[in-house]
Amino acid sequence: MTSHTTLSSSFGTIFRDVPDVEGGFITSIKNPTIKAGGLAKAVPFRAVDFSFTGDVITTVDDRGVVVLLYITKNRYARLAGQQAGGTAVKAGTAAKKEVYIALQDGSVQVYNTHQMSKIATLKGHRSPVRHMSLRNSGSELVTVSTDCILLWDLKKLTRKKALGTGPNSAWQAEYALDGNVLITVLKDDSFWLWDATSLELLKKLEPPIPGSSQPACRAFCVSPDGAWMVAGGTAPLLFVWDLAAAELLYALHLPTPHTVYGIVQLHFMPDSQTVAGLPAAHALQNKLSGSERG
C-alpha cells in the first residue's frame, strides 16, 4: 500500500503503513495548501538533496521552509520556518552534519542538522543562488548565481574567492576528479576547468555548437571515475566529452521535442556508464556503452 504524507506540522511520521516497494512507487510527500486571494494554493518544493549516506532528504519550499525527511527512521522534522523562498539545497558530508540552503535573497543559510539550528549566513551574491557543489573533503562550497561564482571556506564560514566569468554568467559549477578540479559552464556554452586548490585555469572547452541561439549546455555531470563529462541544455542533444583528452566525442539525440524539451539536470550512476537525466517533460536514462564511447 502506498502512502501520501502532508507535512502539516513541525514533526511527524512519513509512512502510516509498511511501504510496498514491489511496484517501485513508495510514497508521495507534499506541503499543506494555503489560502491566497481566497483560493487554496499548494506550496511547491523548490529543491531537494540526499544526505551523503542516502538516508535523509533535505527539502526547501517556495516559502523557505526547510524539512528533513529521515527515511529509514520513518519521521520528518522541520529545520527552519518561513523565510525568503528557497532556490537550492546541498547536503554536507557525513562527518559535518550540515546542510546549505540557498534563498531568493541571494544568501546561503548553514544549518547543523544534529543541533537543528542555524550556525551561519553566507552573503555575497546579489541574485539568487541557483546551484551549489561541495568539495569532497567538505572544506569548501561553490555557489553559482547570475552575478558571480563564489567559493566559501566552510571551516571559517567565510568567502574565499570569486571566480570571474567575463561577459557571461554561469549555469553550474561542480567539483570533480576527487575534488581536485572545479568545472564551470557559462552561458556561452563554454566549459572552464580550474585547479581547485590554486584556482589556476587548466583548460577551456569551446562550445559544442558555436553561435547556437539555444543554450546547448546548461547542466552537466562528470563520471565518478573522472573519464567522461555529459552535458545538455535546451537543444535536443546530450554531449559527451573525454575529459582527459579535453575532446568532444559525440552527441546523443534526445527524443523528439514534443516529448522532451531539453535537460535541466544530469547525474552519473556509480558505474560511470549510466546517466540519469531530468528533462523538462519526461524521465530519461542513457546507457553509454563501450561501443558508443568509440
Element (H, E) at 109: strand 108-112
Q: Is the pLDDT of residue 274 over 60?
A: yes
Report the pLDDT averaged over residues 168-183.
Answer: 90
Distance CA 215, CA 18 (A): 44
Mind listing the pLDDT tens digit for each residue in 121-141? 999 999 999 999 999 888 999
Angle at 286 between CA 280 and CA 288, to 5 degrees: 145
**pTM of the shown model:** 0.84
The rounded distance, in Å, linking the Cα atoms of 115 and 138 is 19
What Cα–Cα distance (Å) separates residue 43 from each residue in 7, 15, 38, 85, 269?
Answer: 11, 21, 15, 11, 31
Distance (Å, whole) CA 274 – CA 264: 17
Mean pLDDT of all residues in 53-64: 91
CA-wise closest residue to 68 among 52, 48, 53, 82: 48
Whole-number percent of the chain with pLDDT over 70: 87
pLDDT tens-digit profile of 26-52? 778 888 888 777 788 878 889 999 888
Using alpha carbons, select from 156, 67, 88 the residue that is nearest to residue 120.
Answer: 156
Contact call for residues 241 and 247 (beta carbons, < 8 A): yes
